[in-house]
């Protein structure tokens, strides 16, 4: 589990990794159903592709 420090008025923040937009719609509907009385607002950020950069300095390979 990864922990993030957030700035702002968020009470809860979490990350979900899904393969399709249908899965996303299903999860959002479930969250809205379960938290219908408590959920005042929500914000969604979609990351379509995550790049991994690796770098190892040449001087350390000797």
Between these two residues, 57 and 36, which has the higher pLDDT value? Answer: 36
pLDDT score recorded for residue 23: 94
Read off the pTM. Answer: 0.58
DSSP SS3 for 61: helix
Q: How far is CA 4 from the centre of its chain?
A: 10
* Element counts in the chain: helices (H) and strands (E): 1, 0
Residue pair 34/27 in contact (Cβ under 8 Å)? The answer is no
Between these two residues, 23 and 58, which has the higher pLDDT value? Answer: 23
Say how far apart CA 36 and CA 30 lie, in whole Å: 10
Task: Judge whether residue 1 has pLDDT over 70.
Answer: no
Q: What is the pLDDT of residues 5-52, one digit of tens each?
A: 666 676 777 888 888 999 999 999 999 999 888 888 888 888 888 788
């Amino acid at each position: 589990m990864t922990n993030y420090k957030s700035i702002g008025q968020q009470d809860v923040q979490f990350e979900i990794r899904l393969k399709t937009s249908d899965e996303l719609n299903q999860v959002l509907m479930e969250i809205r159903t379960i938290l219908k009385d408590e959920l005042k607002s929500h914000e969604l950020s979609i990351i379509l592709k995550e790049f991994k950069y690796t770098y190892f300095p040449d001087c350390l390979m000797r």
